[in-house]
Amino acid sequence: MATIAVPTPLPSPDADAESLRNAMQGWGTDEKALVEILGRRTAAQRAEIRRAYASVYKESLLTRLDSELSSHFQKAMILLTTDPAERDAKLVRAALEKKRGDDKDAWVLIEASCASTPDHLIAVRRVYRSLFGCSLEEDVAASSAFQQPLRTLLVSLVRSYRCAEEAVDADVARLEAATLAEAIWRKKQPHASEVLRIVSTRSKSQLAATFQCYKEEHGSDIEQDINNCSSQFARMLKIAVWCLTSPEKHFAEVIRYSILGLGTDEDALTRAIVSRADIDLKHIKEEYKVRFKTTVTKDVVGDCSGYYLDILLALVGSED
């Protein structure tokens, strides 16, 4: 469930555009007004505001925000205000441009491919081609940021189109659970071609049924057995499994580990909160509380400050 607290009554897009314009005119920027407006609108409402702003003031709202703001607050507001498919396309591009990608860069591709709807991935691929003049699949296949066999997994995920239907074939679930167990549990080969085929092509509901059969037949969760394979590929396969069937587990970990330690990984923290606020941040907060015995709000307050903290808290919403 989303955590965006939309006000009632809701101002029109034209009124919001005017308020944003006023907040960014003169000698100083009214950052609180920007948080109050953009932090309390859904993605669809923000899109209407962008169109209204461009129509009335003949400039891009994103361009204006970029020129008026700075640091982590600027990045958060730009990510929040950008169309979700365009946002993910740009995040994926940045990850692919790394000379050597680490686990966190691979997360970006897996999240874009697996953590949202099949139609969202199609939109990301379409925007990627429009922005960068080439296909996402080709760029992942040609990237030097990720080594084999991880690159093959990432190509399989970004090229996929999953059925959005919730129908499940129980016989297929049992057969493919056995196939997965043979490769992962018995042979310790999570990179086997049949594993890639199943994870990259089956619908989310079908995969959930398959993973349940796996647990019933073999007495352990598939992610636990993947962990036992101990490799970068295995770590990323587990993330894909989570993003496909239980994305709240992955994003709870992203938030937690972006905060732990001496420094904050603001890019990961921002991406997790901004990208999920319209989708399932409420479930992520619940998972976070159960797993880490604290709240997202408490940890964010303890690690962030200023207007950057304000926009994160606006998106996280209230917590009991």
Pick out the residues of the known binding site for Ca(2+): 26, 28, 68, 259, 263, 301, 303
Q: Which amino acid is at 133?
A: G
Give the distance, in angstroms, between the CA of residue 232 and the centroid of all CA atoms in the same chain. 20
Report how far apart, in Å, the C-alpha atoms of 102 and of each of 82, 128, 132, 190, 270 are: 25, 22, 23, 19, 18
Q: Which amino acid is at 115?
A: A
How far apart CA 258 and CA 62 sit, in angstroms, is 26
Q: Which amino acid is at 287?
A: E
How far apart CA 138 and CA 141 sit, in angstroms, is 5
The pair of structure tokens assigned to 26 is 């003169």
Determine contact, residues 316/297, Cβ cutoff 8 Å. yes
How far apart CA 52 and CA 15 sit, in angstroms, is 9
The pair of structure tokens assigned to 107 is 């997360």
Binding site as annotated, residues? 26, 28, 68, 259, 263, 301, 303
How far apart CA 71 and CA 112 sit, in angstroms, is 24
